[in-house]
Chain A
Amino acid sequence: MSVTVYVPREATARALGADAVARALQEEAARRGVAIRLVRNGSRGLFWLEPLIEIETPQGRIGYGPVKSADVPGLFEAGALQGHPHRLCQGAVESIPYLKRQERLTCARLGVIDPVSLEDYRAHGGYAGLGAALAMQPAEIVQTVTDSGLRGRGGAAFPTGIKWKTVLGTAGQQKYIVCNADEGDSGTFSDRLLMEGDPFCLIEGMTIAALAVGATRGYIYLRWEYPQAHAILGQAIAAAYQHGLLGADVMGSGRAFELQVRMGAGAYICGEETSLLESLEGRRGQIRFKPPLPAIKGLFGCPTVVNNVITFASVPIILARGAAHYRDFGMGRSRGSLPIQLTGNIARGGLVERAFGVTLRELLYDYGGGTRSGRPIRAVQVGGPLGAYWPESRFDTPLDYEAFAAAGGMLGHGGIVVFDDTVDMAAQARYAMEFCAIESCGKCTPCRIGSTRGVEVIDRLVAGDRSALQETVLRDLCNTMVYGSLCALGGLTPYPVLSALDYFPEDFSKPAARQAVGS
């Protein structure tokens, strides 16, 4: 009887040597004449344990990690295939506290299943949501999504049901479903993990959206930086077509939905929905004026639903278990759960899906275990490169869209980047402006010019060149960018800049920084 062994095929696990471990396992098994069934699963998102291999045993799946290929003979020797103890043994994977104390709704299948096996997907509840949707009228599907309280997980947190309702109510010969998989924020990877670990969930969510609004074509706009996600999505989409889950007749319903993946080409701005649509149409990713909203005039001028990966992937469970099940998680107006990403200088980096309401402190210390360097945490940036830098005094803020906004921050896509006490916050503020200058689409002046001027002003400020004046100019410039930019890139870049200045003013006047700039 063969033993089932799981080794992730997810990008971070592979970057840490998962492919070599998989090869070593097969070679060692062959050498010993032991039969194993190797499954390349997704990652659970416990990255400090990757490559995390899992052995199927009568006591459940036992994990070992982080495994190097050189550890493999020792693992066989110790009886790992029977789940026996070894220095790398983590016990039953589901009981690892980091994972056990999560509320995995959207990411429930991550790391559990073979991502490109429809059989696995169905055995773990897949396509129950689409099945339910097929028995409903479009307006009922939209109402269910509205009732669930789901809001756009890409960062803007717009109520998904309202967006869908607009598209449903807009007449059009052709409507589109577009998935924003241009996950460009530093400190985020939940879209990638989902696409690499449970691609059918995204496909199912998009198909439900198509049924809900009457769309027949869909695109996944994927960033080129995610080649592994591209490969896995390609396999999953092909399998879905082959089994009648995509194409002219979805699940025998007579309804059509055609789905394609399109690759971006390295432009952060294409994560902004109107830039993304321009890019899909084959043009420079310059943003469009709004209105008209994409829901009314979107891709090729047609009514279009544009949602993020996690938003679409949250839809199947809402349809399968009902709006109330999802809505019962969370706090205030932030309903359901958020896949949070612990990144940067963090001891236990990874994916933590929790209902809204968990505090930053709990995430940083109870889950994350403090910094990787062992030094104190000095600052965190939540919400990507446009999110505010916060000091420890803000760590008791609960993860909730409104609570973050009230505290001058942004929850965004749920990425948390941790910095220890060696960070130079003036350098981080300068980088925020530099990044905006590099990635600005150039359409509006505050963003295009303001970002470059911002770098210069910060340089002068740090150099001690009439500091009080420079600070006034910087704040004035930031004000212009916030209120005068067309989209969030120019409009939010001041948040990391000003939060760094407000919370860490000492970094903008320290002698070391002055010398560095002067040299």
Chain B
Amino acid sequence: MGERKRVAIPIRPAPGADLPAGERAAVLDAVERHRSLEGALLPVLHAIQDRLGWIPPKAVPLIAFELNITRADVHGVITFYHYFRQHPPGRHVIHLCRAEACQAVGAVALEDHARRVLGSEMHGTSVDGSHSLEPVYCLGNCAMGPSLLYDGELHACVTPERFDELLHAAKTSGERA
């Protein structure tokens, strides 16, 4: 019988130790500002996504540790809500309305156009990394559809031509910057 090899089992690994410093700071700041709220998890997740544009899966253990809830709770909430992203977005995010009122005025054709022009499916990002395309179910602009949010800004009566103009404007302002 040889000697058994001793394996050190980390009882409490430092949560979030493998997070890049910037992301770690964003998480800790979000927690610090919201931890006293009743039901703090959603406000914390919003604050992280507002800052980083997404919620890195590696941040889950740190959020769970800081709020004293399980990682399963945090993961479960992030994956339940369509708005929370687990992948970094492109430089711009387009939330395109797919709901009935927009369908009545051409949203299906607009969605086809958007996917073709960006070369991306819904929930994807264009190959050049410029635009992420997300579906959204109603922006409350139902009398003047089709509607979309471009980096959080609402646009009304969006035809395929208008969509192309938006992309073009982003491209030219990107070149200037």
Contacts and interface: CB of A to CB of B under 8 A. Distances in A.
Interface in B1-54: 37-43, 45-46
Contacts of B83: 224, 264-266
B140 A188 contact: yes
A346 B46 contact: no
B165 interface: no
A263 B77 CA distance: 14
Interface string A22-58: 0000000000000000000000000110100000000
Interface stretch (A92-100, A178-186, A328-336): A178-186
A479 to B, nearest CB: 24
Contact of A284 (B80, B82, B143, B145): B80
A420 B82 CA distance: 31
A283 B73 contact: yes
* B40, B136, B138, B141: most-surrounded residue (chain A CB, <10 A): B138
A219 B140 CA distance: 21
Interface of A is mostly: mixed
Listed residue (B76, B138, B139, B140) with the most chain A CB atoms within 10 angstroms of its CB: B140
Interface string B99-118: 11111110010000000000
Interface string A444-480: 0000000000000000000000000000000000000
Contacts of B80: 267, 284-286, 441
A62 B83 CA distance: 42
Given A282-B39, A350-B143, A14 B104 contact: no
Interface string A220-234: 000011111000000
B127 interface: no
Nearest to B83: A266
A11 B141 contact: yes
Interface residues of B, number: 44
A431 B154 CA distance: 24
Q: How large is the interface on A (under 10, 10 to 19, 20 to 34, 35 or more residues)?
A: 35 or more
Contacts of B43: 262-263
B169 interface: no
Interface in B143-167: 143-145, 147, 149, 152-157
Given A381-B100, A431-B103, A189 B84 contact: no
B142 interface: yes
Nearest to B157: A16
A153 interface: no
Point out which of A341, A417, A441 has the most chain B C-beta atoms below 10 A from its C-beta. A417
Contact of B140 (A192, A349, A435): A192
A186 B46 contact: no
B137 A344 contact: no
Most chain A CB within a 10 A radius of its CB, from B100, B136, B144 = B100
A428 B82 contact: no
Contact of A267 (B40, B81, B143): B81
Nearest to A277: B39
A46 B159 CA distance: 21
8 contacts: A187-B142, A189-B143, A266-B83, A281-B38, A284-B80, A343-B142, A344-B104, A344-B145
